Amino acid sequence: MHPNVEVLPSNGQVRALFASIRSSETSRRKFIFDSNRVITMLVEAALAKLPFREKTITTPLGLPYVGAEFVCDICGVPIVRAGESMEKALSNIIQDVRIGKILIQRDEETALPVLIYEKLPKDVANRHCLLLDPMLATGGSAMAAVKVLLDHGVKEEHIIFVNLISCPEGIGAFCSAFPKIRVVTGEIDDGLDERKYICPGIGDFGDRYFGTDV
């Protein structure tokens, strides 16, 4: 595994959640609930990688306590549409966090990612960015989104890519293209099939989360 990739520690709770969201028999309501739980764990793990500094406060007993605080401004950037499922978890953890949007679609003739829409904070170049997308398959959309952030002045080492499920092909392509970006993922699957779907996978995450698979 690439040294810049961190996988969510596996335990009974995590495996139970992934078993739920991967199952074709799971209801949409439970899929959303359990996905949100995993996403929250992943966002927390990503935030732990951001720079902190010591901060001393005074408790109600009048005693000092040495804690910590962020030393950077943060921006969440979901890749529309599926990445928007991860936006709420970040907003629930960090109040008033800035959120950008990037929409990338695949050209059906060339099979290459095409930038359709982007909206980022004006000061995004001065922020650490959490790039949010549930799946890392070929890595094409994620790499295109990173190029948008770099074009807006974001430093490569200030980007953390957060996703639920990845595969060796996507990790290899992404980390080779951007060796300074850290990746936080929930699980790494076996690989891609001939249709470039992650196997064993989860299906179309966006369709299942937003109810457009029926």
In angstroms and rounded to an integer, the radius of gyration of the C-alpha atoms of the chain is 18
- Is residue 106 annotated as part of the catalytic site, yes or no? yes
Which three-class secondary structure state does DSSP give residue 105? Answer: strand
**What is the CB neighbour count within 10 angstroms for residue 165?**
23
- Please name the residue that has the structure tokens 């996988």: 7
User: Which tokens belong to 199?
Assistant: 């196997």
DSSP H or E segment with residue 115: strand 113-119
Q: Which of 28, 73, 98, 207 is catalytic?
A: 207
- Is residue 189 annotated as part of the catalytic site, yes or no? no
- Is residue 207 annotated as part of the catalytic site, yes or no? yes
Q: Which of 190, 204, 208, 213 is catalytic?
A: 204
- 207: which residues sit within 8 A by CB, 6+ positions away? 213
DSSP code per residue over 56-74 = EEE-TTS-EEEEEEESSEE
DSSP H or E segment with residue 184: strand 182-188
Answer for the pair 121, 152: CB distance below 8 angstroms, yes or no.
no
DSSP-assigned letter for residue 50? S
Q: Which of 28, 81, 98, 106 is catalytic?
A: 106
Could you give the residue ranges of the DSSP H alpha helices within 49-122? 87-93
Distance CA 87, CA 132 (A): 8
Q: Which of 26, 110, 182, 213 is catalytic?
A: 110
Residues marked as catalytic: 106, 110, 204, 207
